[in-house]
């Protein structure tokens, strides 16, 4: 059953002309379903629980009405005292925080509303300087926000609107205690907005603890993938997954491929292996420096980077227009994460493809995903990569690896070979005495002594060696 699509014109929502002008400059005239339903609720000052697929315009659904409310009493003064933090937006990752703050700048370019961004992984002083100049909208990750609170470089005593974005991921990342600490720092009277790609029961329990009679906007059925995403799974042996990925990228001439892996180490290793196979690739994850993550993402968006390998956490907040391909190199252990992963493609009406490389051990994970979505994912075997078909052209290891492997092999052979006992280990005390006596006799007779004892020992032992 297809869901009813609700669209309306931005002009009909009662937004200020300055906001409509900024929206029009981005090429938008019609709202998405989440925008059509959420914007009037936020403008009315009500609490809101908003659930929508990633890529459906969720950020604009709260950014535009918030900018409208702030601009009605905004101050053009440059005095920091006239710009206390009135809106706090909390996100789980740096990338999502940066994207949200950029959207506020884009939509609010013609209204006198100031915004800034604080997150970890970079120095605090530039953030402190920006906060001292005064801001109306603060976008933050939980840990760095609490750092500023502890150092008294930010005050949250005048917050009027709180937004928790990607709340499900914040719970998954263990931020629940930080969120509760932040809630305790805010004024009791405020508007609360909670947005999430999925709405598990834990989210509803959290919302019930601080929201007041919230309106619920759930424009996508729970845990369902976007309709425009074509899904396919390719069975493959575990030791040929990397080779199959390289084959798919090259043979189909894929560009802008977002690849999901389970671990940071796995992301680094896969990106390096793809590079050696002649495919421009890089990895982003929590251990990468923020400036590296920013540069890498910019290259990927500009099509200068063909493949971006990412962990689930790092991929939150990646807003890439018309991303054509998402690959599940490693299937997630939590089925709901699959829905969020493939939601990176097929965004805002564009078609996309989600590809999963499935080994024998991955079958239970894929079965759980199919049960969650209540649909089967098409299975398609790639010729030459059938499970059990050994590689004919594996990606060669780097020269340094070859040398290291050769050295390790030689060391193993030396250890495995039986060691010939030293000759002295065979001599009894009596034979040692005979050897010493022979040496003295040779010295008395003027015969030269050899550096090795082998001939003399041979005579004493009867050449039984």
Domains of the chain: 10-218 (3.40.50.300), 229-391 (3.40.50.300), 427-461 (no CATH)
Asked if residue 342 lies in contact with residue 326, where contact means CB atoms within 8 angstroms, the answer is yes
Banded model confidence at residue 151, pLDDT cuts 50, 70, 90? very high
Query: 76-127 pLDDT, tens per residue?
Result: 666 666 679 999 999 988 888 998 999 999 999 999 999 999 999 889 999 9
Residue 85 Rama label (left phi>0; alpha psi -120 to 50; beta): beta
Three-state SS at 236: coil
More confident residue, 447 or 282: 282
What letter would DSSP give residue 9? B
Banded model confidence at residue 457, pLDDT cuts 50, 70, 90: very low
Q: Tell me the per-residue pLDDT of 373-400, one tens digit each, with 9 for 90 and over.
A: 888 999 999 999 998 766 655 544 455 5
Contact, 83 vs 75, CB < 8 A? yes
Whole-number mean pLDDT of the chain? 83
**Can you tell me the distance from the alpha carbon of 421 to that of 415, in angstroms, rounded to the nearest whole number?**
14
How many whole angstroms separate alpha carbon 198 and alpha carbon 219?
Answer: 11
Q: Looking at the predicted structure, is the pLDDT value of residue 196 above 70? A: yes
Indicate if the alpha-carbon torsion angle 20, 22, 24, 29 is positive or negative: negative
């Amino acid at each position: 059953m297809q869901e009813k699509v609700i669209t309306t014109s931005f002009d009909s929502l009662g937004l200020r002309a300055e906001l409509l002008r900024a929206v029009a400059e981005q090429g938008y005239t019609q709202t998405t379903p989440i925008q059509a339903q959420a914007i009037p609720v936020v403008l009315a000052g009500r609490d809101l629980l908003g659930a929508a697929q990633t890529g459906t315009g969720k950020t604009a659904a709260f950014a535009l009405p918030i900018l409208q409310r702030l601009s009605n009493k905004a101050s053009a003064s440059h005095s920091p005292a006239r710009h206390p933090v009135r809106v706090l937006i909390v996100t789980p990752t740096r990338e999502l925080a940066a994207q949200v703050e950029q959207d506020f700048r884009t939509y609010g370019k013609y209204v006198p509303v100031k915004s800034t961004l604080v997150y970890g992984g970079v120095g605090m002083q530039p953030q402190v300087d920006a906060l001292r100049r005064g801001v109306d909208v603060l976008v933050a990750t939980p840990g760095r926000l609490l750092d500023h609170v502890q150092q008294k470089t930010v005050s949250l005593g005048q917050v009027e609107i709180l937004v928790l974005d990607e709340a499900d991921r914040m719970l998954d990342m263990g931020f629940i205690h930080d969120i509760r600490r932040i809630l305790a720092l805010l004024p009791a009277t405020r508007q609360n907005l909670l947005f999430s790609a999925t709405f598990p029961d834990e989210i509803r329990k959290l919302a019930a603890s601080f929201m007041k009679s919230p309106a619920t906007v759930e424009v996508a059925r729970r845990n369902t993938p976007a309709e425009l995403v074509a899904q396919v799974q390719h069975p493959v042996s575990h030791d040929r997954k990397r080779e199959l990925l390289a084959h798919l990228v090259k043979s189909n001439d894929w560009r802008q491929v977002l690849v999901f892996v389970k671990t940071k180490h796995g992301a680094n290793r896969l990106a390096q292996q793809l590079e050696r196979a002649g495919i421009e690739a890089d990895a982003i994850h929590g251990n990468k420096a923020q400036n590296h993550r920013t540069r890498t993402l910019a290259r990927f968006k500009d099509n200068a980077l063909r493949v971006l390998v990412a962990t689930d956490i790092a991929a939150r907040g990646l807003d890439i227009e018309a991303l054509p391909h998402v690959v599940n190199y490693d299937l997630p252990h939590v089925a709901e994460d699959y829905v969020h992963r493939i939601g990176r493609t097929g965004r805002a009406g564009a078609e996309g493809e989600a590809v999963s490389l499935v080994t024998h051990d991955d079958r239970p994970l894929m079965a759980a995903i199919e049960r969650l979505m209540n649909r089967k994912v098409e299975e398609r075997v790639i010729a030459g990569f059938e499970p059990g078909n050994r590689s004919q052209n594996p990606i060669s290891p780097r020269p340094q690896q070859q040398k290291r492997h050769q050295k390790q092999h030689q060391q193993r052979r030396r250890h495995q070979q039986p060691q010939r006992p030293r000759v002295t280990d065979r001599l009894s005390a009596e034979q040692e005495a005979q050897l010493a006596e022979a040496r003295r006799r040779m010295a008395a007779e003027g015969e030269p002594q050899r550096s090795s004892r082998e001939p003399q020992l041979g005579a004493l032992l009867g050449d039984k060696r």
